[in-house]
Structure 1
Amino acid sequence: MGSKYTNRYSDEYKRDAIELVRSSGRTVTEVARELGISSESLRGWVRPAPPRTPDQSPPPGRPGRLPPTGTRS
């Protein structure tokens, strides 16, 4: 028997949330808070997502990936 949370969000919802993180320039935590979902769930979706095609690159001056978590500067 699988977890009761396995299919909590549709694939379309996950794709839209991933795209929002990538296109908005905001952090995973900010987007997750706006959507009312766990930042760890959203982070888990963003990490394994396939890379963008060249025409989907982030705006200039924005990093193309999320900063590592748990690091101190």
Structure 2
Amino acid sequence: MSPPGTHARSPCGPCPRHAYGRTSSASERAVREVRTTGRPIAQVAKDLGIRKEALRGWFRRAEADAGERDDRLASSELAELKQLREEIAELRREDEILKAARCVVPVVSSRGW
């Protein structure tokens, strides 16, 4: 993997388009520039050397995190959703293990039958 700021297929060395989008602080600065200047996302993205689709996604994420969008989940909600899905997957695995164990080990009741 090439170091940040360089492109593996580019002999020219630094690649500002890829270096800019590597950190969250870079995306925060780009979003802040769109908000403070009021310039279109495409224009700000071109000036910063990043893809407009990337900046548009960062901007939408920032709006969702600020509660300005109802059509997207906030980052905290996405993290919670991911955690809950992982817990569900773990519970399903445990359930499958218990089902398999029931087939192998006979259940003995307290009455002895």
Fold match by TM threshold 0.5: yes
What is the CA–CA distance in structure 2 between the aligned matches of 1:34 and 1:14, rounded to whole Å? 14
Q: TM-score, normalised by structure 2?
A: 0.38
Provide the residue aligned with 1:38 in structure 2: 51
Provide the residue aligned with 1:51 in structure 2: 66
> Is residue 11 of structure 1 aligned with residue 24 of structure 2?
yes
What is the CA–CA distance in structure 2 between the aligned matches of 1:14 and 1:37, rounded to whole Å? 10
Structure 1 residue 51: Cα displacement: 2.5
User: Which 4+ runs in 1 deviate beyond 3 A?
Assistant: none
Cα RMSD of the aligned pairs, angstroms, is 2.1
The one-letter amino acid of 2:66's match is P
Q: TM-score, normalised by structure 1?
A: 0.57
How many residue pairs were aligned? 47
- Provide structure 1 residue ranges, at least 5 long, that are not aligned to the other structure: 53-73
- Equivalent positions of 1:20-31 (< 5 A) are 20-31=33-44
Q: Which has the higher contact order (CA 8 A, sep 6+)?
A: 1
Q: Deviations over 1:14-64 (max 9, x none)?
A: 100000000011000000000010000000000011329xxxxxxxxxxxx
Question: Greater share of helix residues, 1 or 2?
Answer: 2
In terms of Rg, which structure is larger? 2
